[in-house]
Amino acid sequence: MFRCILRSPVKRLASLPVYTHRITLKNSMSSSRPPLAAVCQVTATPDKDANFSVCKQLVEEAQGRGACMVFLPEGFDYIGSSREETLSLSESLEGDTISRYTQLARKLGVWLSLGGFHEQGHNWETEQRIYNSHIIINNKGDVVTVYRKSHLFDVELPEKGVSLRESGFTLPGPSLVSPVQTPIGKVGLGICYDLRFPELSLALLRDGAEILTYPSAFTVATGAAHWEILLRARAIETQCFVVAAAQVGQHHEKRSSYGHALAVDPWGNVLGDCGGEKPGLILVEVDLEKVRRTRRNMPVQQHRRDTAFYYSLDQT
């Protein structure tokens, strides 16, 4: 089922209409409906209040249509136009931004995946460095877990007009975090550039992940070349659902994002795509029986050799 829902503008971020897809998946094993997840797409700017207004609108829309968990992208809080602005706008987990989202989750009774918060580092006063943090909030407004991005995006592609050095102001996260039990299943957390490292997804799989999530702000050049391919590959190799909220469009004069927030099933089928032009969301029924059936019919993980086998060439 496809629906297009128009929205009135919310400052300049919502000048384009918000649209909604709903993908209905039949659960052949039960008459009850699988839980519904919302995967969002936004165009963040340095204006934190405007960003919150748009994200709040999307969360309310998702909750109103039955979603029990809502996924927001990397940089949902803001995307700065310079290193100095990015650092100056950062906050701690106890700051106003996360407080607003915990209140929103509690008020609406939904779980939130906040997929890339600019968190001030532990030695903020002396080092002035931040973490890129993925925060899960439950329907009571509690912060359940925080994952800090492991792989930092330091890339120079002059022929593509891409030049970003995340490590110039961001600390790499110290470790992975275990998948979180949520109303839609066990969710394993990554962020954006982590998508390019299958070791991370396989580690989350071994720890019980049924859904992987990669909230992102892919550049237009790298997104057009690799975004869908990588997301489908992670789904196929882990036999997990993959959900990836995304940034889209022009954030400021220096940066644009590819968009195409996606949901992919354990067979690698794309269930929904927000497109590459405007904010919006896709609603997806997450049928975990499909995970179990896919893994049962093609038991890839049972066929995997021990870790030492894959590193045996290092010893020769």
Beta bridge partners of 19: 280
- Which one is catalytic: 68, 119, 149, 278? 149
CB-CB contact of 284 with 272 (8 Å): yes
In degrees and rounded to multiples of 5, residue 211 shows phi and psi of -130, 135
156 is catalytic: no
DSSP annotation string for 28-41? TT-SSPPPEEEEEE
Among 177, 289, 196, CA closest to 244: 196
Active site residue 84: no
Active site residue 55: no
SS3 state at 146? strand
User: Is-contact 134 114, C-beta < 8 A?
Assistant: yes
Residue of 40, 68, 192, 274 marked catalytic: 192
Q: In the structure encoding, which two tokens stand for residue 216, read together?
A: 């992102």
Query: Which residue among the candidates 40, 68, 74, 186 is catalytic per the annotation?
Result: 74
* Helix locations, 188-287, DSSP H: 198-206, 220-238
**What does R_g of the chain's alpha carbons equal in angstroms?**
19
Report the catalytic residues: 74, 149, 192
